Amino acid sequence: MAKKDSGTAAAAEGADALGYEQARDELIDVVRRLETGGTTLEESLALWERGEELAKVCRRWLDGARARLDASLSDPAPTAAPGREPDA
């Protein structure tokens, strides 16, 4: 099993601290840079790895949002209109 170097581990920890929009925007930039080309193989691999980390961050945010929506939609407690008590 390959061992991550300290730079890669620090980048992964930094990615975890990003909000969804920040991670998405950086991921878009990474994809653009990869599609444009002109980078060395080593730079391309580093960009790919960063993109994978950012995609995981986005996926976690989206999974969390889906879980919150699912929990809200499955909540059996009736909600009252503003100013009204829920029916008993």
The SS3 assignment for 86 reads coil
Q: How far is CA 23 from CA 27, 40, 51, 77, in A?
A: 6, 24, 9, 35
pLDDT in tens, the chain (88 residues): 444 455 555 566 677 799 999 999 999 999 999 999 999 999 999 999 999 999 999 999 999 999 999 999 997 765 566 666 655 5
CA distance 44 to 46: 5
Domains of the chain (ranges plus CATH)?
Answer: 17-70 (1.10.287)
Query: Which distant-in-sequence residues (6+ apart) come within 8 Å of 24 by Cβ?
Result: 54, 58
pTM here is 0.68
Quickly count helices (H) and strands (E) in the chain.
3, 0
